[in-house]
A and B are shown apart, each in its own frame.
Chain A
Amino acid sequence: MSRRGKFSIIIVAGFFVVSLLAPLLPVDDPYSIDLDSIKRPPGIEHPFGTDNKGRDILARVVYGAKISIGVAVTAAFISALIGFTLGLVSGYYGGVIDSIVMTMVDFFLSFPSLLLAIAISIVLPPGIYTVMIALSVVGWTSFARLIRGHVLTVKEMPFVDAARATGCSDLRILIRHIAPLCIPLALVLMGIKLGGYILTEATLSFLGLGAQPPTPTWGYMVSANRAYILSAPWMVLYPGLAISVTAFCFNMLGESLRERYEFKTDLG
């Protein structure tokens, strides 16, 4: 892996640690309202300043990391799982199952993805689970296509015939012999797509469809604070910067993975 790739892995790992250990870090309580110190500019006491209710922006950004990264990773995992299973089955069995799955894929791809995610997020009550579902419903298609393509080549290999000759059932061949060969591929695609998940999560919470206040999410902080952009720009600046930096590192990681495993861009 390139130096750039290693570097981005370290930073991404850092984000995970920060988001998981948020309660242990020496930051303020992200929920405590302090009306004596509203809209303080960044300084020693509040490195990122405070918002219109006197809450520490740094603390809210740190706690927001947990939601943003957590939701993105979970959603990527769910979409990988759905896409993996469907791709495996449709690639292996072919025929009617294959046509049904691929029609479904085409169907989901015929929507502009954000519109679909928005449509799903307004159907279900707003919250982090809704965002996860919306992201997964939009995201599983690329996994299904990738895995299906891979299964199509793997199932022609001699060892599959050998397994069948020794009397393995279809299910056993699929799970014990073919699936393990597809897992690394799915993991790589997950790494490539995480940056996009972070951004979509941020957009949905910006639109008010994500985790509900007072839970701090980066997207919602930007949208709720944007009225104060002139008087207190730091209220919008830092949450947005957090999204950008996180997405940047995840995308950098994705790019290195793409280079390392020679993924073609049209899959992403």
Chain B
Amino acid sequence: MFAITLFAFFLLKALPGDPVLGLVGERAGPEVIERIRRELGTDKGFAGQYAGYLKLLLKGDLGRSYYTNRDVLTEISSKFPNTMILAFAAMLVSVPLGIGLGFLSALAADKGSRFLERSIDTISISGLSIPVFWSAIIIMMLLSLKLKLFPPSGTGDIRFLVLPATVLAIPATATLARVTKTTVIDILRMPYITTARSKGLSLTRINMVHVLRNAVIPIVTIIGLDFGSYLNGAVVTETIFGWDGIGRFTMEGIIKRDYPVIMGCIITGTLVFVVVNLFTDLIYQYLDPRIRLNVKKG
């Protein structure tokens, strides 16, 4: 975590643009610029600035935005639930759809119906190939501007949620479908499936109990890893649909070179990423009793 703040801070300070110049405009005199620099603390050297930032960070303070002078932590915590809602809504679509498609494709491959397998594969590769920003714009045009089914942008109730969540779910569904497919195909080749079949168990029982149960680990891994892609996708999706979450906040910060905001967002994003990965590891234990994490009892 420490390394991440240092790295991110270093990156941002190396930026060519000077936030103060952008803030005051072109007509401000040099003495005004000096005064604002002192207020923001950017007149100190790199090390001084970083030390100051760390001191704030340890107190649980992310500083204030250069532009709005609002507390970054408060802003992030007010926008964070929105991003989470969006991510979960997208997962609500992508998880069942992705697993379903992948499963179907694997079963089709197993039965030798190449046509069905190929069609599902084509769908999932398309899902991975269409850029989020483009599908967002096209869907927005068709469903909200032409057909007026959903509001084009804004934050609010479920009507605002449908479009960005759908767009965000497309690549996630495709990834999930692919992983499910390869996992299920591997499992279908296992001896215990042959045993189950020769015992005369029903197809549904084999699929639900024997296959799905064993496929669950890789699938959960991907869902966990994909959380990163929701955060990635959120930057673009939230910006286009005007959803008031962390992604859009990050983008605005980047455009205005609002360092405390960018830092706060990068730290939050990375933190979420790490926590989700940890959480995924913990879930493993419950899903597969063979896995035990080496936790040292102190």
* Cβ-Cβ contact count across A and B, 8 Å cutoff: 118
Main secondary structure of the interface of B (DSSP, over half): helix
**Chain B residues within an 8 Å CB radius of A107:** 3-4, 7
- Complex CA gap A39/B12 in Å reads 40
Contact of B4 among A111, A223, A229 (CB under 8 A): A111
In contact, A199 and B129 (Cβ under 8 angstroms) = yes
With an 8 A cutoff between CB atoms, is B287 at the interface? no
Interface 9-mer from A16-24, A50-58, A166-174, A244-252 = A244-252
In contact, A266 and B273 (Cβ under 8 angstroms) = no
In contact, A123 and B232 (Cβ under 8 angstroms) = no
Known: A199-B131, A202-B131. Contact between A123 and B138, CB under 8 A?
A: no
**Chain B residues within an 8 Å CB radius of A252:** 125
- Complex CA gap A125/B254 in Å reads 14
With an 8 A cutoff between CB atoms, is B23 at the interface? no
Those of B235-264 within 8 Å (CB) of chain A: 235-236, 250-251, 254, 257, 262
- Complex CA gap A245/B130 in Å reads 8
- Of B3, B137, B269, most buried by chain A (CB within 10 Å of CB) is B137
With an 8 A cutoff between CB atoms, is B101 at the interface? no
**Chain B residues within an 8 Å CB radius of A250:** 129
Known interface pairs A236-B137, A240-B131; 6 further A-B residue pairs with C-beta atoms within 8 A, sorted by A's residue number: A114-B233, A115-B235, A118-B250, A118-B254, A244-B134, A255-B125
With an 8 A cutoff between CB atoms, is B155 at the interface? no
In contact, A206 and B125 (Cβ under 8 angstroms) = no
Contact of A248 among B125, B229, B232 (CB under 8 A): B125
Contact with A along B111-137 (1 / 0, CB 8 A): 000000010010001101111111001
Q: Identify the B interface with A (CB < 8 A).
A: 3-4, 7-8, 11-12, 14-16, 118, 121, 125-126, 128-134, 137-138, 140-141, 145, 178-179, 182, 218, 221, 228-229, 231-233, 235-236, 250-251, 254, 257, 262, 265-266, 269-270, 273-274
- Complex CA gap A122/B255 in Å reads 9
In contact, B125 and A251 (Cβ under 8 angstroms) = yes
In contact, A244 and B273 (Cβ under 8 angstroms) = no
Contact of A112 among B125, B145, B218, B270 (CB under 8 A): B270
In contact, A115 and B125 (Cβ under 8 angstroms) = no
- Complex CA gap A118/B182 in Å reads 32
With both beta carbons as reference points, the residue of chain A lying nearest to B183 in the complex is identified as A265
Those of A222-268 within 8 Å (CB) of chain B: 222-223, 226, 229-230, 233, 236-237, 240, 243-245, 247-248, 250-252, 255, 264-266
Q: Identify the A interface with B (CB < 8 A).
A: 4, 107, 110-115, 118-120, 122-123, 125, 195, 199, 202-203, 206-207, 219, 222-223, 226, 229-230, 233, 236-237, 240, 243-245, 247-248, 250-252, 255, 264-266
- Complex CA gap A111/B268 in Å reads 11
B118 CB → nearest A CB, Å: 8
B185 CB → nearest A CB, Å: 11
**Chain A residues within an 8 Å CB radius of B218:** 266
Contact of A229 among B128, B133, B145 (CB under 8 A): B145
B109 CB → nearest A CB, Å: 11
In contact, B137 and A240 (Cβ under 8 angstroms) = yes
In contact, B270 and A110 (Cβ under 8 angstroms) = yes
**Chain B residues within an 8 Å CB radius of A264:** 182
Contact of B138 among A240, A243, A265 (CB under 8 A): A240
- Complex CA gap A116/B178 in Å reads 25
B254 CB → nearest A CB, Å: 6
With both beta carbons as reference points, the residue of chain B lying nearest to A233 in the complex is identified as B141
In contact, B141 and A112 (Cβ under 8 angstroms) = no
**Chain A residues within an 8 Å CB radius of B233:** 114
Contact of A247 among B16, B131, B141, B254 (CB under 8 A): B131
In contact, A123 and B126 (Cβ under 8 angstroms) = no
In contact, B231 and A115 (Cβ under 8 angstroms) = yes
**Chain A residues within an 8 Å CB radius of B118:** 4
In contact, A119 and B273 (Cβ under 8 angstroms) = no
